[in-house]
Amino acid sequence: MGFYSSIEISASGLSAERLAMDVIANNIANANTTRTPQGGAFKRQLVVFAQKSNGTNPDGSPIPAGADPFSPNAAVKPSVNGVQAVGIVNDPSPDRLVFDPGNPEADARGYVHYPNVQIVKEMVDMMAASRAYEANVAAIQEARNMGSADLALLRS
């Protein structure tokens, strides 16, 4: 793994965690949204991450189309260059129901459907994403420091 590869991997982590923090912030902002343009309460969103492959094997040969290079039976593992967000999906957990028959958003039984967003869970997820972001920043700084130290050794 080269100098630039380690920075590229950490940079992909920075981008992925930034997206995760944006999605979490959107969840928190919509924690009380009972009506969306699609109808119904807002649904909590989650980011799906996956390994990022550059499409080649470590020897530089291309990965055949349709092959699953990450399967346990793969003959050659691809070179992995970090992480990528492959999508944002809705959390399938049920809405939070609150009995409030006087609310104009109440259903026939008097329940209001609130989003399946739990603020405490979102804050924990935000802290985890923030710490992962900080760890990637520290990894980039250390890679830069090691590169500087290598250059200083070459000069001396």
Residue range 76-101: mean pLDDT, rounded = 86
pLDDT of res. 71: 60
- Residue-wise pLDDT for 28-76, tens only, equals 999 999 999 988 899 999 999 998 876 665 556 666 655 555 565 655 5
Distance of alpha carbon 117 from the chain centroid = 17
pLDDT of residue 147: 87
Q: What is the 3-state secondary structure (H, E, C) of 46-62?
A: EEEEEEEECCECCCCCE
Mean pLDDT across 79-102: 90
State which H helix or E strand residue 17 sits in.
helix 3-29
Our CA dihedral for 26, 128, 130, 143, rounded to 10 degrees, sits at -140
- pTM over 0.85? The answer is no
